[in-house]
Structure 1
Amino acid sequence: MPPADDTTPRALAGAPTGPVAVPAAVERVAGGARLEPVWENQLGGLTFRVGAERYVKWAPAGVTGLDLAAEAARLAWAARWTTVPEVLEQGADDEGAWLVTAALRGRSAVEAPWVDRPAEAAAAIGEGLRALHDALPVGDCPFSWSTAERVARALEHLDAGDTPAGWSPEHRDLTVAEARARLRDVPDVDLLVVCHGDACAPNTLIGDDGRWAAHVDLGSLGVADRWADLAVAAWSTEWNYGPGYAGTVYDAYGLAPDPDRIAFHRLLWDAT
């Protein structure tokens, strides 16, 4: 995923570009195995590959929005119906929290070779998201990612001084009052599903056959309108591959674009 510029929203996560300090808990988990930092986000969260069989995510203590215990619970629940990382260990200390998972077959949709084959990757993202939504049972899901809760959080952020000036190019020209009004104009629910919660391109793994293989990073998984996932999944192809692939995601998912729902859920993503 490229760094933020005037075409991408906010600061985006991505592969580390410089030296990474390894937390003590991660060193302990590795037990002498080779550690390779593979991902970092804007909140200070890190992901390391441990040898060939494990990954460990680490989040600094006290950071809102990186709840690895919550992610472990969601992975354990979702694993009954779809392919997600197996949880091997989860814990915390004064420095931070960690989550150890088993490696899965497939490569991220933003790694080689898929980053150089964006049409195939976008199709796999759409197909995989539809499979996830079809597989996970809404009635059995104990987790929520509801629009109402997220809108309330977005309005709190605006009350605390957040402004659209730091959002994506599509939204940066909005005034705070305009952003509030649009966030309060919530479209009717199309279909409730168990959403991934962060359906951006990096979180779909693709197998050697070009088909989706698994999903990762399900820390926000919960029940919501399917467009909350789909609008952002398609949008993320622009950040990772350039323009022209959002339609491929919608086609592979099996839905025609819904401009009003897409616009709303992208704004809500930016605002939260």
Structure 2
Amino acid sequence: MVGDDGPVLGGAVEEGTAIPAAVVAVAAGVEVRPVWRNAFGGLTFELVGAPERRFLKWAPAGSGRDLAAEAVRLAWAAPFTAVPTVLDQGGDGAGSWLLTAGLPGRNAVEARWLADPGRAVRAVGVGLRALHDALPVAGCPFSWSVSDRRAAAAAVATTPAQRRLVDDLGDPPPPDLLVVCHGDACVPNTLLTDDGTCSGHVDLGALGVADRWADLAVATWSTVWNYGPGWETVLLDAYGVAPDDDRTAYYRRLWRLGP
């Protein structure tokens, strides 16, 4: 997402970050290693030493992140594409949690991929196209439409700048192609194996039907945040689509309201 003054990004977890009590309880004595903090204060942990690779997401109460909704979306998408398998889900007064099996690979902004952005960006573009091609629009029960997103943003807009963003958005361009969008196609949510192949996607809590440019506008934008300028066309070429300045600009404005 993007705040009033620019992009609000996730990243590495600071040393000494407190581990929520629910995470300790679910881990049941297995060591937990913090691996990611998202823009909303949520944390992701790897369960080190578990019989199989596992990850535990935690979202604090009041963050606006609904891990129960993500669990439902992951279960729906799993027959069609590589996403984490849901093992358990729950919550308490402090927040909610989601336990999943790990996928092969690591996220596309680990150090080795920051040092090889061309290869990483191409894999992200190929992986996003594969996701869009695999997930069936017909029968998808989830929406990520402009109208739904605007309504959600208007309901939580608390500052004049946020309300102005909602009011000034305007009507969307005609859809280019409706697909089941990832909903947060920033490059860290693509996993890559050591050979530079996309091995799956994570963080699908907003997955739903929308114009493919709702994902593409954000995916290309996130290459700038993570790798620097010059990689947007590389991603589009790998995806297999020509640049579309109007749709890109519109869906980036919409992203400023929140995923």
TM-score (normalised: structure 1): 0.88
The residue number in structure 1 matching 2:186 is 200
Q: Distance in 1 between matches of 2:48 and 2:156?
A: 40
Native 8 Å contact 1:151 1:184 kept in 2: no
- Assess, with a 3 A threshold, how the Cα gap between structure 1 residues 154 and 29 changes in structure 2: closer, same or farther: closer
Q: Does the alignment pair 1:212 with 2:174? A: no
| Counterparts of residues 45-64 of structure 1 (less than 5 Å) | 45-51=42-48, 53-64=53-64
Which moved further from structure 2: 211-220 or 14-23?
14-23
Tell me by how many angstroms 1:156 deviates. 4.7
The residue number in structure 2 matching 1:133 is 132
Q: Deviations over 1:164-193 (max 9, x none)?
A: 6xxxxxxxxxx938x733x11311111110
The residue number in structure 1 matching 2:71 is 72
| Counterparts of residues 85-96 of structure 1 (less than 5 Å) | 85-96=84-95
Q: Distance in 1 between matches of 2:13 and 2:174?
A: 40
Q: How many residues align?
A: 254
Q: Deviations over 1:103-122 (max 9, x none)?
A: 11011000131111101111
Which moved further from structure 2: 262-271 or 11-20?
11-20
For 2:234, which of 222, 241, 248 is the aligned residue? 248
For 2:164, which of 164, 167, 176 is the aligned residue? 176
Question: Is there any run of 5+ residues in structure 2 with no aligned partner, and where?
Answer: none
SS of residue matched to 1:38: strand
Tell me by how many angstroms 1:199 deviates. 0.2
Runs of 4+ in 1 over 6 A off after TM superposition: none
Q: Does the alignment pair 1:108 with 2:107? A: yes
TM-score (normalised: structure 2): 0.92
Q: Deviations over 1:89-147 (max 9, x none)?
A: 10111221110011110110001311111011110111000000000000121111111
Q: Deviations over 1:27-51 (max 9, x none)?
A: 1122222211111123221111111
SS of residue matched to 2:57: strand
AA partner of residue 203 (structure 2): D
The residue number in structure 2 matching 1:33 is 30
Tell me by how many angstroms 1:161 deviates. 2.1
SS of residue matched to 1:240: helix
SS of residue matched to 1:139: coil
SS of residue matched to 1:138: coil
| Counterparts of residues 252-263 of structure 1 (less than 5 Å) | 252-263=238-249
The residue number in structure 2 matching 1:172 is none
Which moved further from structure 2: 23-32 or 185-194?
23-32
The residue number in structure 2 matching 1:163 is 161
Tell me by how many angstroms 1:61 deviates. 2.1
Query: What's the Cα RMSD here?
Result: 2.1
AA partner of residue 16 (structure 1): V
Which moved further from structure 2: 45-54 or 191-200?
45-54
Q: Distance in 2 between matches of 1:117 and 1:42?
A: 25
Quote the sequence identity (%).
57
Tell me by how many angstroms 1:17 deviates. 2.3
Tell me by how many angstroms 1:157 deviates. 5.1
Q: Distance in 2 between matches of 1:18 and 1:42?
A: 17
The residue number in structure 2 matching 1:170 is none
SS of residue matched to 2:59: strand
